[in-house]
Structure 1
Amino acid sequence: MPADIPGIHHVTAIGSDPAENLAFYTETLGLRLVKQSVNQDDVSVYHLFYGDYGGSPGTSMTFFPYPDAAPGQVGRGQATTVQFLVPDGAIDYWVGRLESEGVDVDDPHDRFGDTVVPFRDPDGLPLELVGRADAPAGDPPEGPVPAEHAIRGFFGVTLSLVDPHSTATLLEAMGFEETTSDGGRQRYEADGDLGYVVDLHEDPEAPRGRPGAGTVHHVAFQVTQENQAEWREVLIDHGLRPTEIIDRKWFESVYARTDGGVLFEYATKEPGYTVDEEIEHLGERLVLPEWLEDRRGEIEAGLPPLTAAD
């Protein structure tokens, strides 16, 4: 077996207006735009990457913002909530900040001993802040959120499933262990510092998820280049049909749809977002992998501005 997976590498979701998406994740949540590129499978659409200062694995929330995207349906067969980790002392700050910014936010509540603040992004994507005393110091970017309150990266994700058994078995093969459960929610944890939680929510009565704005496209887990091919074999052994290894420039990827319907990606930590930009200038310009560079003029002409209209 390859080495255990420490947690989430990135989460990719579908948005609508790219300028609104950028403003929310950088100005409201205080994340840094660490890569401005395009969806390599549909170059008419941006691929925007947000994260800590350097876009470290475990901090990177990414989006395909389709300007005319219809709203999706959050439901079974999807990752239905993305959870961000903050220090436990930052909860009051965040409740006040989200309310003052007009964000759709719910009252804090307890889950497995942690304080959780549910809220939604402008497209309705369900998000949560989870306060933990053991939140790492991290590498927060300079910006509107003070470093002591800043989002450190992912806490985890919640998957909504009709039957969680096969997904649980796969997570266990990945090195996640069940740590607690309550009311149809099983928690699995890995040994990493960020993105180490996957909650399986057994909810057969939930509506079937439908892709669209405000839904998660896929959840990517961290692997190394040395053992990625081995993980692909593990997926085959579990009866799944993974893709070949795909070069995404900043990481290499294998994708497989689980029996529960959720798309998993296994993304390498190497080479990272600084392979083609200096860390001080991440996200400042449109970056294309070299195999798309000869189409730059066409691609740039088809993309909307990233700044809101006056």
Structure 2
Amino acid sequence: MEAIKHIHHISAIVGNPEENIRFYRDILNLKLIKKTVNFDDPGTYHLYFSNNSVANGTILTFFNWPNHVKGQVGAGQVETIAFRIPQGTMDLWEQHLNNHAITTKRNQLFDQETLVFKDTHDLPLALVESETTSDNHDIIGFHGVTMLSSNPVQTIATLTNDMGLSEVNDSNVSVHLTTAGEWQHHVIVHKTTPEKRVRWGTGVVHHIAWSMPTNETQLAWREQLSNKGYHLTEVKDRNYFNAVYMKEHGDIIFEFATDGPGFTVDEPFDELGTHLMLPPQYEERREELLKILPPINI
């Protein structure tokens, strides 16, 4: 079985959808590509953002839970989402964020200079420079994530032995891994297990999804992981991709998502994110859901 090549998308829980859009579209300059609902909870929005090319591996999605209790960061979750920016743009980004009253700090979180900050709803984010130059300073896509595992040894084993990620560095505090693909997405697994478990709520990453090139690849991965003792869901139709979920042995939710059919199945590219798109099973409830969902007027 070919190793996992890259992250497909990352999904987090945040609050008010307009605040969410203002931050990611208007400050981080990401493209809002889909306004839909949580397929398992249609009374809440599910908003999708990406880079301007809408490439898989750049997709960030949000479950918008306005007025919901704040989440608790803890064992069993992805902690920090890191974006990759063009070479030489760290200072520009730092100044840009500071101009928007966003507190930033530099550290070596990804074994190189990393700019860390939080979004409007306290979700931990980071920026890491790529080796690629660009005429602008727009976010290229994901650089990677940090993980808080309830069993770091088992999580590392899953990522390396079962999914094909490679070890870059093993320090006293974390293990640094990368995916096998050309994008080389980075994963930092902290060795210390937090005392508290994650509690779902705003400001917390819900799951990370790994790219499956085809439906056949996804089914083969599902069978292989099932044979190794993992418990996986059936294939779920998410309209823009098919999804299979599992909780790895460190309690982090992993999804395996197909690259197709993509986000233009219900909207042309130049209209992405401009309409509320409902999956077929909820279309007849559109008027009812519009009365429940908070208005988005930006």
Give the TM-score category using the shorter length: over 0.9
Residue 53 of structure 1, CA deviation: 2.0
Aligned equivalents of 2:256, 2:209: Cα separation in 1: 5
Further displaced range: 108-117 or 81-90: 108-117
Aligned equivalents of 2:291, 2:221: Cα separation in 1: 39
Check whether the contact 1:17–1:65 (CA below 8 A) recurs between aligned residues: yes
Aligned equivalents of 2:257, 2:273: Cα separation in 1: 20
- Number of the residue aligned with 1:131: 129
Q: 2:222 aligns with which of 223, 232, 257?
A: 232
1:151-203 deviations in Å (ceiling 9; x for gaps): 11111111112432222222122121111122321111113344621111111
Further displaced range: 62-71 or 293-302: 293-302
Residue 44 of structure 1, CA deviation: 0.5
Give 5+ residue unaligned stretches, structure 2: none
- Number of the residue aligned with 1:191: 180
After superposition, the Cα gap between the structure-2 partners of 1:4 and 1:215, relative to the gap in structure 1 and judged at 3 Å, is same
- Number of the residue aligned with 1:181: 170
1:1-310 residue pairs with structure 2 within 5 A? 1=1, 3-106=2-105, 108-111=106-109, 113-134=111-132, 148-172=136-160, 173-194=162-183, 196-224=185-213, 225-307=215-297
Residue 113 of structure 1, CA deviation: 4.7
Amino acid at match of 1:233: E
Aligned equivalents of 1:205, 1:254: Cα separation in 2: 27
Aligned length, in residue pairs: 296
Check whether the contact 2:207–2:252 (CA below 8 A) recurs between aligned residues: yes
Check whether the contact 1:76–1:203 (CA below 8 A) recurs between aligned residues: no
Secondary structure in structure 1 of the residue aligned to 2:260: coil
Check whether the contact 1:218–1:265 (CA below 8 A) recurs between aligned residues: yes
1:192-223 deviations in Å (ceiling 9; x for gaps): 34462111111124432211100001100001
Residue 240 of structure 1, CA deviation: 1.6
Check whether the contact 2:74–2:194 (CA below 8 A) recurs between aligned residues: no
Q: Percent identity?
A: 38
Check whether the contact 1:9–1:195 (CA below 8 A) recurs between aligned residues: no
1:92-139 deviations in Å (ceiling 9; x for gaps): 001001111011322x2234552100100111111110112247x6xx
Aligned equivalents of 2:120, 2:55: Cα separation in 1: 25
Aligned equivalents of 1:65, 1:214: Cα separation in 2: 10
Check whether the contact 1:13–1:215 (CA below 8 A) recurs between aligned residues: yes
Aligned equivalents of 2:254, 2:129: Cα separation in 1: 26
Check whether the contact 1:181–1:187 (CA below 8 A) recurs between aligned residues: yes
Check whether the contact 1:170–1:238 (CA below 8 A) recurs between aligned residues: no
Aligned equivalents of 1:110, 1:260: Cα separation in 2: 24
